[in-house]
Chain A
């Protein structure tokens, strides 16, 4: 499965990449904000997106909205992994169609649990 990891901090991308690798997702790609991620996603082939919220140029919430607006991408599962912890934000993300929401700092166990849940729902 081709996965895109979107985060402006390379260390966090690396942590998520390593955790995903341990969970069997070895085909991962990286982008440092929504603006870089969107063209990559539009090129096609990605089946899953893990994104941060707070990033320069295009934030994660806007990337999520763009994904849901695009007829070719709207069914793409999106997991948000972010330090943003305001209730309003989580509600906003849910309304925008996020498939899972993890607050940082997080554990490998949480990531696995949420991934399982996302794919279980997608069948």
Chain B
């Protein structure tokens, strides 16, 4: 780099200039001044900078060409990440449906237990208050006997279904591992993009930040940073407050 300062004119030129001026030789003096190339130093600095940038760009492009990681990422790992994320959607969908199937299976069992208990309650209360006819007592005995038998089977069914629900939660571990790997890939891509951004002009980097402003009305999906944002509601109470302030 041409950082070292150099005089625009030589000592002999300066001496000649002074001599011409002292001798009132204006034309001669002006010729010396005009012959001095002031732009030489600035040009050298500029050419030096352009050269350096070109070299950096050339090196960066060469590095990208030689960087097989980029080829791997674009050609294999990104499509693979998409497949993995689709697999996460499938797994969570399956887990949710397995859980809901089990719940759908259990609800009628719980309902039946409640119905059976309600059915024997009047006779049971009669027995407890010693106000039960012999016939009703016999009915109660049979009902309780049926309830015992039925409850055992129901409890076993509920237990099995609860285990199914428990096992359906294993998706958390598996999807967690998949998502962690995708996060690592995204991090690597981020670091490569930063290098590209550094090579490109700072102006472009500045321009991209202004595009960050999103349209407020655009769908964004679940808000993961609600605590640090003022443009989003924090739960249903906030929604209700906002709507009531609008006259709802």
User: A residues engaging B (CB < 8 A)?
Assistant: 9-11, 14-15, 18, 53-54, 59, 61, 83-92, 94, 101-104, 106, 110
One of B13-21, B44-52, B201-209, B236-244 at the interface? B236-244
Nearest neighbor of A121 in chain B, beta-carbon distance: B248
Considering the complex of A and B, which 4 residue pairs feature the smallest CB-CB distances, nearest first? Answer: A88-B216, A54-B219, A11-B96, A83-B222
Q: Given contacts A11-B100, A14-B97, A18-B100, are A89 and B222 in contact (CB under 8 A)?
A: no
Residues of B within 8 A of A (CB): 92-93, 96-97, 100, 103-104, 216-217, 219-223, 226, 231-233, 235-236, 239, 242-243, 246, 248
In the complex, chain A residues whose CB is within 8 Å of the CB of B92: 11
Q: Which of B226, B235, B239 has the most chain A CB atoms closer than 10 A to its own CB?
A: B239
Q: Give the total number of A-B pairs whose CB atoms are below 8 A apart.
A: 70
Contacting pair A53 B243 (CB below 8 A): no
Determine whether the beta carbon of A83 is less than 8 Å from that of B223: yes
| Minimal Cβ-Cβ distance residue in B for A9 | B93
Residues of B within 8 A of A53 (CB): 219
Give the chain A neighbours of B103 by CB distance below 8 A.
18
Residues of B within 8 A of A87 (CB): 231-233, 242
Collect the chain A residues with CB atoms within 8 Å of residue B235's CB: 103
